[in-house]
Structure 1
Amino acid sequence: MAKEGAGGGPDWNGLLKWSLAHGSDGTNPPRALSEEDRKWFMEAMQANTVDVVGRMKEIAQVMKTPDDVLQSHGVTPENIEDMLDELQEHVESIDMANDLHSIGGLDPLLGYLKNSHAGIRAKAAEVVSTVVQNNPKSQQLVMESNGLEPLLTNFRSDPSTTARTKALGAISSLIRNNQSGLAAFRLGNGHAALKDALGSDDARLQRYVLWYLEQLCAYPPMAHHCIFS
């Protein structure tokens, strides 16, 4: 059994003392470890090592679970949003972002873009944006999974301004330096959606669209697309 601190968590002070006693500061010569010390050290380290892929698989499984089953187990929309926050942290690594598809997590994530709760739709779009940002492989995977369509739908007509702006942010990351994505955006009347948003009464949405257009026009490979057609 690993030694624990006063709060029941890892005994970090004990770990530090152990490290110093065994010469990890370079001032003391290392001595032979007893089996008890070796076992405690390994357990202390393993207790604080996160299996990211394993955790992402667990999150993917939750995302695949029907809403009524989640509700019957006391899972709230806020719990799902917190879970998506965690997933977003994991997929900040490009390798983990690309692994999301291989572990079966990309399609259910895109499915959350159609969730009945606005907060989940918005948070799912944020995660998608992180997955595809500067990541051609994941951009392609999202396009192949028809991920642009629900993003465009949410940007056009979601009753939540936050969900609309997050959808636009994900669209921006998805089509940036992505010719097939940009072509699909144009074919999906994305520019018309931008025009409509600029003409809306929602000042927050207008500001976000103007920011998006500024970013688009400042990016040389895509600047000529600033002219709506």
Structure 2
Amino acid sequence: MEKLLQWSIANTQGDAQAKERAGNPDPNALAQLLGNVVDDVTLMRENLKNASNPELSLENREISLDNFEMLIENLDNANNIQNLKLWDPLLNLLNAKEPSIRSLVCSIIGTAVQNNPKSQKNFTSYDNSIKKLIQISLDKSEQTSVKIKALYALSNSCRNFEKGYELFEAENGWLIVSDLIFETGKNNLLNYKLQLRFLSLLSSLLSTAFNKKKENFIQNEKVIQILTKLATQNIEKISFIDNSLNIIGQLISHNYNFNDQEKSHIITLLENLDNVKNELSKEDYKLVQSLTV
């Protein structure tokens, strides 16, 4: 085995003389070493098993979930969550008493379903999937860091996926808009991240079929008023303003019927953007500006 190690180091370093001294490895030793390489399926199972074991230290459980998320960044591994029957134990961990565990699981969900229709379908086939993420987002006692990851998971579960949105609507997910965002009154980094996730969620909700019911939700939950208020509070953050204008632009593209109050809020926002408008997306700015003509 020591000779095999020397051969491996010499090959990695590209040292011709060292390679010559090390010679060729013993085929049997090499086969034994390669045979010990653990495949991704085994690693996924083992990491989730460790993460679910309350007898392990919190740090080791967190590391296991971090490892699991790195594995499912691979599309095939993400889809294998269903094949390996791992969605149930993952969803059970959303009830863990430790906030860091809940946060990591929400992040895993968001990563698994991101731009992945197959995993979106698999995840939303579980009765407590979207529902649990909404409950976390609306829980007054939940930590902001966990809510940020829950919104990440919700956004990716609903984006361009009709069933995801239907479940979101059926579980009263629109309450998040009016209920959650007013937690962000304090000016700190966590709340800013929460606001960004809120914008991402809004964009996802508008990525599926638009109808009168969705329009009513937007008006009843005062989405435009909240959106323009947040944008005004973050007037110096160009990316935030761009995202906000893009969402209003999405609504325009959907032929959303803006009422007079909503138009008034948008006009006020545009007036406040006068000093930074040259830094914004010209296409989105002009589209939103068309409402005022």
TM-score by length of 1: 0.75
- Structure with bigger helix share is 2
Aligned equivalents of 2:59, 2:82: Cα separation in 1: 24
**Residues 110-125 of structure 1: matches in 2 within 5 Å?**
110-125=91-106
Aligned equivalents of 1:38, 1:57: Cα separation in 2: 30
**Partner-residue secondary structure (3-state), 1:199:** helix
The match for 2:289 is none
Aligned partner letter, 1:56:
M
**Partner-residue secondary structure (3-state), 2:121:** helix
Alignment counterpart, residue 127 of structure 1, candidates 108, 118, 124: 108
Deviation at 1:141, TM superposition (A): 1.2
Alignment counterpart, residue 42 of structure 1, candidates 16, 20, 31: 31
Instruction: Kindly indicate whether residue 167 of structure 2 is the aligned counterpart of residue 184 of structure 1.
Output: yes
Please give the per-residue CA displacement for 1:15-40, whole angstroms capped at 9, x wherever unaligned.
4589968x9xxxxxxxxx97x63234
The match for 1:163 is 146
Deviation at 1:177, TM superposition (A): 0.7
Contact 1:63–1:108 under 8 Å retained in 2: no
Aligned equivalents of 2:12, 2:30: Cα separation in 1: 11
CA 1:190–1:228: 2 relative to 1, 3 Å: farther
Contact 2:47–2:68 under 8 Å retained in 1: yes
The structure number with the bigger radius of gyration is 2
Deviation at 1:78, TM superposition (A): 1.9
**Partner-residue secondary structure (3-state), 1:3:** helix
**Partner-residue secondary structure (3-state), 1:104:** coil
**Partner-residue secondary structure (3-state), 1:159:** coil
CA 1:46–1:194: 2 relative to 1, 3 Å: same
Instruction: Kindly indicate whether residue 34 of structure 2 is the aligned counterpart of residue 51 of structure 1.
Output: no
Structure number with higher relative contact order (C-alpha < 8 Å, ≥ 6 residues apart):
1
Aligned equivalents of 1:152, 1:96: Cα separation in 2: 26
Aligned partner letter, 2:161:
N
Instruction: Kindly indicate whether residue 192 of structure 2 is the aligned counterpart of residue 207 of structure 1.
Output: yes
Instruction: Kindly indicate whether residue 132 of structure 2 is the aligned counterpart of residue 150 of structure 1.
Output: yes
Contact 1:152–1:190 under 8 Å retained in 2: yes
Bigger Cα displacement from structure 2, 170-179 vs 184-193:
184-193
The match for 2:50 is 62
Bigger Cα displacement from structure 2, 170-179 vs 209-218:
209-218
Bigger Cα displacement from structure 2, 162-171 vs 152-161:
152-161
Aligned equivalents of 1:18, 1:42: Cα separation in 2: 22
Please give the per-residue CA displacement for 1:93-130, whole angstroms capped at 9, x wherever unaligned.
11101111221211111111111000000011001111
Instruction: Kindly indicate whether residue 88 of structure 2 is the aligned counterpart of residue 99 of structure 1.
Output: no
Deviation at 1:137, TM superposition (A): 1.2
Aligned partner letter, 1:13:
I
Where structure 1 has 5 or more consecutive residues not aligned to the other structure, the ranges are 24-32
Aligned partner letter, 1:212:
R
Instruction: Kindly indicate whether residue 17 of structure 2 is the aligned counterpart of residue 3 of structure 1.
Output: no
Aligned equivalents of 1:159, 1:80: Cα separation in 2: 20
Aligned partner letter, 1:142:
F
Deviation at 1:46, TM superposition (A): 4.5
Where structure 2 has 5 or more consecutive residues not aligned to the other structure, the ranges are 221-293
Aligned partner letter, 1:153:
Q
TM-score by length of 2: 0.60
